[in-house]
Each structure stands twice: as structure tokens, then as C-alpha cells.
């Protein structure tokens, strides 16, 4: 049987932690008198914490010292982590567990490729960390998506060629990273936003076993 690398983003793909990121960033923005909306939050998908803060400051035309930025970044992460304390398997998005189990049964390579620096504790809290052969997160890479570093490193650790790798992503930057890396990109979300992806599904409940099988044998 062919062995491929199936690489998953975390936020918005496996778990819906995006809502907690939004609340934490909104708290920072409000303290700076910046109006930060759900629409603005779309700009932060797949983006590093440092870059996210710069985007928010830009929305409010706020100039800040590096010292202030560092303080806000720590505060944001502490607020975000406080929301994660009570996370459990109920946070896993519909259809994800079934897909992971299917890939495990078919002895495929499974990796996480996420900008999050909290990926491991989240996977542990939701009880699915054992499904992942490889975890590459924000602690392991220096370049943010759309740079493909996080996905290329995941494929490398799985000892699988990038062209035999499939990436599940919910962000434009993530889809672009997969495409730049020469991988198959599968968008999870809205077609109007993720139109650059090779395939697009609203969520994992829309993905049939036959589709996964076709990716394996392709």
C-alpha cells in the first residue's frame, strides 16, 4: 500500500480554538481602544502571534515599543491558555476523529503542522495526541505560513516526499504554504475564501472514505 503524509493544521481544522484566540486578541485590542471584529480576526488565520499583534496594531494605527509588544504577547497567551484549561474531546470538530482513525487503520503517516505554540497540550487535553506520528508547531519553525517550512519539516520527519503529502488547512496562508511546498491542499471551510486549494470541503463530515482512499492511491 502507498504511504502518504497527511498533515493537519490545528486551529479551525482539528479543534475550534480560533474562538479563544479571538477572545484573547479582542481583550488586548479593547485595552488599546481598537475595534477588533470577527471579520478582522480572519486576517489572523494561520499567522504567527507576533505578526497577529502587528496586524491588530495596524488596524488601530497604534505605534508601540518592543517592550510593550512583548508584554501584550505574553498577556494574550496567558488569556488564551486560561480558556484552554477545561478543554476535552468535545472540542474536536465533527468528522475529525473518524478521519484520523481511518488514516491510522490504513497505516498512513499522520502529522500536525501548526503555527500554534500550544499544540501539544491541546492534543493531549482532547485525547488524540497518540494519532500523530509527528508534531511540528510554532516552537519548531522560524518561518510563518505561507512559507511552507512547517509542512516540509513534517513531511521530512515522516520520511515522505512533499509531492506525496496532503495538507488539511482552513486558512488562505496555510493553503498557499501547502501549494508552495508542492503538496496537495485540502481546504476546510468556505470555497469563496479557500479557492486556491486543490479540494475544498465545508468540514470533515463532508469527506467520504473514498476520497481519502483516492488520495492514498493517487
Active site residues: 9, 11
Closest CA to 136 of 161, 159, 153: 153
The answer to whether 29 is annotated as binding is no
Yes or no: say if 170 and 189 are a contact pair by the CB < 8 Å rule: yes
The answer to whether 72 is annotated as binding is no
The answer to whether 31 is annotated as binding is no
The answer to whether 52 is annotated as binding is yes
The answer to whether 59 is annotated as binding is no
Q: How far is CA 52 from the centre of its chain?
A: 14
The answer to whether 170 is annotated as binding is yes
- What is the DSSP secondary-structure string of 79-113? HHHHHHTT--GGGBPTTHHHHHHHHHHTT-EEEEE
The answer to whether 218 is annotated as binding is no
Closest CA to 126 of 95, 100, 87: 87
What residues form the annotated binding site for substrate?
9-11, 25, 44-49, 52, 76, 114-118, 145
What residues form the annotated binding site?
9-11, 25, 44-49, 52, 76, 114-118, 145, 169-170
What residues form the annotated binding site for Mg(2+)?
9, 11, 169-170
Amino acid at each position: 500500500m502507498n504511504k502518504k503524509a497527511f498533515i493537519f493544521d490545528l486551529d479551525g481544522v482539528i479543534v475550534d480554538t480560533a474562538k479563544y484566540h479571538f477572545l484573547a486578541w479582542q481583550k488586548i485590542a479593547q485595552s488599546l481602544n481598537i475595534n477588533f471584529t470577527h471579520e478582522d480576526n480572519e486576517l489572523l488565520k494561520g499567522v504567527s502571534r507576533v505578526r497577529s499583534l502587528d496586524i491588530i496594531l495596524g488596524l488601530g494605527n497604534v505605534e508601540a515599543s518592543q517592550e510593550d509588544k512583548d508584554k501584550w504577547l505574553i498577556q494574550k497567551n496567558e488569556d488564551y491558555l486560561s480558556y484552554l484549561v477545561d478543554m476535552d474531546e468535545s472540542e474536536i470538530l465533527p468528522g475529525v476523529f473518524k478521519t484520523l482513525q481511518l488514516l491510522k487503520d490504513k497505516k498512513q503517516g499522520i502529522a500536525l503542522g501548526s503555527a500554534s505554540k500550544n499544540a501539544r497540550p491541546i492534543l493531549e487535553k482532547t485525547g488524540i495526541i497518540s494519532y500523530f506520528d509527528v508534531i511540528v508547531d510554532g516552537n519548531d519553525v522560524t518561518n510563518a505560513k505561507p512559507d511552507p517550512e512547517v509542512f516540509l519539516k513534517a513531511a521530512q520527519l515522516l520520511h515522505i516526499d512533499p509531492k506525496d503529502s496532503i495538507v488539511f488547512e482552513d486558512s488562505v496562508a496555510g493553503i498557499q504554504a501547502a501549494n508552495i511546498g508542492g503538496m496537495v491542499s485540502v481546504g476546510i471551510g468556505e470555497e469563496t475564501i479557500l479557492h486556491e486549494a486543490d479540494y475544498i470541503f465545508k468540514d470533515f463530515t463532508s469527506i467520504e472514505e473514498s476520497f481519502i482512499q483516492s488520495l492514498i492511491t493517487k
